[in-house]
Structure formats: structure tokens, C-alpha cells
Amino acid sequence: MPLNHSSSYSQLTDKQYTAIGRVAVEWSNIEHLLGILLCRLLMTPEFPGRTYTDLLSAAALQNAVIEAISIQRLRYGCRIVPEERLSEIETLLGQITKLRSERNRIAHFCWARSSDEAVFGTSFSGGLPNTKKHKKSVAVLTLKDLERLYLEMHKTTETMMGLIKKIPEIEEEQVLTLCSRETP
């Protein structure tokens, strides 16, 4: 039985649900922007590019962005995206990795109210007590912890949007126009 269904006391408060929901929504923004970032780095129009990026997990998107950064450096010699911008993206990816770890814990743990100001979560891991696996399978987060995480994610989203704006966008119409000039 899920923890928050076991008693009325264990049910999350509206503030707790809201705090967890804000984190989930902001993470969705980050994942969406990772897909757009990948499209820009690979010089692909967003709509057809998203047909592929939508299938990738956040970790796979990050790996693909890392590969795209290498392409920009090695194949294109930073002529399309300057080295400074590529370095900014790499720094951002490090932050996203940390946020993804926290997001995964929130998304994959079962949560219950510990108090009005804190939630208790467990993954119901099979780890034996006093082992590393067991220690990672439980967590307590306060509303302040969730607010801090939300604010970090929000800041990351804003940073990503700013970086994406600085990378040239290939629009479908550009590709269609180019193709129609080449077709007899």
C-alpha cells in the first residue's frame, strides 16, 4: 500500500503536493529545453528534431548534447557556436545532472507526510539495513528543500532559454526554401 494512503495523517498536505508539483513542472521545462538545445546544436529544425528527441530520456538527451558539442568543436571548429557558449552549455549540463538526480528521487520514491513541514520518502529498496543502498532508499525533504530545488530548476530553465536564443535556429521554411531551389 502506498505510504500516503495508509492513514489520514500520512496524506500529504496541499502545500506539500504543490511543492512537489512545482518541481515536477519545472523539470518538464528542463527536459523540453534539452531537446530544443540538441536540435539547435545539430542544426535541425525543431519540429522534425523533436520527433526524435521526444523519445529520449533526460540522461540520453544530455549525452546527445555532449556529442553535439563535440561535433560543433571538432567538425565545425566552433564557427557556428562559439567555444565560450559550448563551455557554458557544459557547465549547465553539470548542474542538470545534479538536478536530475534529485528529480528522480522525488519522482520515483513513495512520499508521505512526516510533519506539516516535511515529507518522508522511500523507494522500498531491497537493500539491507546499514548499507549504502538502504541509505539511498529513504529521504526526508522539507518544504524549504523543495522550494530550493524548484528555484534551482527555475534558474536553470531561465539560463537554458537564454543560451538557446544565442544559438542559430534552423527553421523548417529555410530547409523547404533551400530544397525547392535545388529541385528542377
Model confidence pLDDT, tens digit, residues 83-92: 999 999 999 9
CA dihedral angle for residue 172, residue 157, residue 139, residue 57, rounded to 10 degrees: 10
> Residue 92: its pLDDT value, please?
97
Is 30 part of any domain?
yes
Whether 93 has a pLDDT exceeding 70, the answer reads: yes
Is 5 part of any domain?
no
The mean pLDDT of 81-100, rounded to a whole number, is 97
CB 21 within 8 A of CB 143: no
DSSP three-state, residue 21: helix
> Residue 38: its pLDDT value, please?
98
CB 41 within 8 A of CB 169: no
Q: Write out the residue range of the structural domain in which residue 176 sits.
A: 11-182
Is 31 part of any domain?
yes
* Beta-carbon count within 10 A of 43 CB: 18
> Residue 184: its pLDDT value, please?
59
**Cell, residue 37:** 538545445
Q: At what angle do helices 143-165 and 14-41 cross, to 10 degrees?
A: 20
Inter-residue long-range contacts of 111-115, CB under 8 Å, 24+ positions, other chains counted: 111/3, 111/4, 111/12, 111/16, 111/20, 112/3, 112/4, 112/6, 112/10, 112/11, 112/12, 113/4, 113/9, 113/10, 113/11, 113/12, 113/13, 113/16, 114/140
Is 6 part of any domain?
no
* Beta-carbon count within 10 A of 96 CB: 26
> Residue 172: its pLDDT value, please?
83
> Residue 15: its pLDDT value, please?
97
Is 1 part of any domain?
no
* Tens digits of residue pLDDT in 126-181: 666 666 666 678 899 999 999 999 999 999 999 999 999 999 999 888 777 777 77
Is 82 part of any domain?
yes
The total number of structural domains in the chain stands at 1
Top pLDDT among 178 and 56 is at 56
> Residue 3: its pLDDT value, please?
56
The mean pLDDT of 121-125, rounded to a whole number, is 83
* Tens digits of residue pLDDT in 3-53: 555 666 789 999 999 999 999 999 999 999 999 999 999 999 999 999 999
Is 32 part of any domain?
yes
> Residue 131: its pLDDT value, please?
67
> Residue 136: its pLDDT value, please?
72
> Residue 29: its pLDDT value, please?
97
Is 4 part of any domain?
no
Whether 2 has a pLDDT exceeding 60, the answer reads: no
